Structure 1
Amino acid sequence: MSDQAKPLSGLRVLVPRGGIWGDLVSQALREQGAQTVIAPLVDFAHTSEEEKLVAALHDLENGEFDWMTATSATVADVLKHHNAVFHERTKVAIVGEATAVAFREAGYPVTLTPKEDENSTHQLLKEWHEIDAGNVLRVLTLRSDVATPVLTQGLISRGHNVTQVLAFRTIGVPASVHIREDIDSGRINAILVASAKIAEQVREQFVNVPKDTLVVCVGENTLAAAAELGLPGCSEGNSTLRQAIIDAVESAIDHSDMLD
Structure 2
Amino acid sequence: MFNASELGSMSAEAKPLSGLRVLVPRGGTWGDLVSKALRERGAHTVIAPLVDFAHTSEEDKLVAALKDLEAGKFDWMTATSSTVADVMQHHNAVIHPDTRVALVGEATAVAFHDAGYQITRTPSEENSTHALLREWPEIDTGEVLRVLTLRSDVAIPVVTQGLIGRGHDVTQVLAFRTVGVPASVHIREDVESGRINAIVVASAKIAQEVATQFPELHEDTLLACVGANTVETVAALGLPVEADDPEHPLYATKRALLDAVESVIDQSDTLD
TM interval, short-chain normalised: over 0.9
Q: Does residue 194 of structure 2 align to residue 186 of structure 1?
A: yes
* Structural mapping, 1:1-260, within 5 Å: 5-115=14-124, 117-233=125-241, 236-237=244-245, 239-256=251-268, 259=271
Coordinate RMSD, CA, aligned: 1.8
Distance 1:148 1:113, change over 3 A: same
SS state of the match for residue 147, structure 2? strand
Q: Which has the higher helix share?
A: 1
Q: What one-letter code is carried by the residue in structure 2 that aligns with 1:180? A: R
Question: Secondary structure, in 3 states, of the residue corresponding to 2:49?
Answer: coil
Equivalenced residues, count: 258
Is 124-133 or 69-78 further displaced after alignment?
A: 124-133
Shift of 1:222: 1.0
Q: Which 4+ residue blocks in structure 1 deviate beyond 6 angstroms?
A: none
Between 214-223 and 105-114, the greater mean CA deviation after superposition: 214-223
Q: What per-residue deviation string (whole Å, max 9, x for no partner) do you get for residues 187-233 of structure 1? A: 11111111100000000000111111212212212101111222223
Q: How far, CA to CA, are the matches of 2:266 and 2:211 in structure 1?
A: 24
Shift of 1:235: 7.7
- Residue identity over aligned pairs, in percent, reads 72
Q: Distance in 1 between matches of 2:144 and 2:241?
A: 47
Q: Is the 8 A contact 1:29 1:35 kept in 2?
A: yes
Q: Cα gap change, 1:259/1:22 in structure 2, threshold over 3 Å: closer, same or farther? A: farther
The Cα offsets for residues 75-115 of structure 1, whole Å up to 9 and x where unpaired, read as 00000000001111111111111100000010001111110
- State the alpha-carbon separation in 2 of the partners of residues 170 and 214 from structure 1: 24
Comparing 219-228 and 157-166, the one that deviates more: 219-228
Matched residue SS, 2:22: strand
State the alpha-carbon separation in 2 of the partners of residues 189 and 58 from structure 1: 46
Contact kept, 8 Å, 1:61 with 1:87, in 2: the verdict is yes
CA distance in 2, matches of 1:15, 1:128: 32
Aligned to 2:6: none
8 Å contact from structure 1 (residues 196, 259) kept in 2: no
Cα shift at 1:10: 1.2
Kindly provide the CA deviation profile for residues 122-143 of structure 1, in whole angstroms up to 9, marking residues without a partner as x: 1111111111111111111100
Partner Cα distance (1:226, 1:163) in 2: 32
Task: Please state how far the C-alpha of 1:234 moved relative to its aligned partner.
Answer: 5.5
Measure, in 1, the Cα distance between the counterparts of 2:12 and 2:20: 11
TM-score after normalising by structure 2: 0.90
* Per-residue deviation, 1:119: 2.3
Question: In 1, Cα distance between the equivalents of 2:181 and 2:60?
Answer: 26
Distance 1:258 1:5, change over 3 A: farther
After TM superposition, give the deviation of residue 252 of structure 1 in Å.
2.1
Q: Structure 2 stretches of 5 or more lacking a match?
A: 1-10
Structure 1 unaligned spans of 5+: none
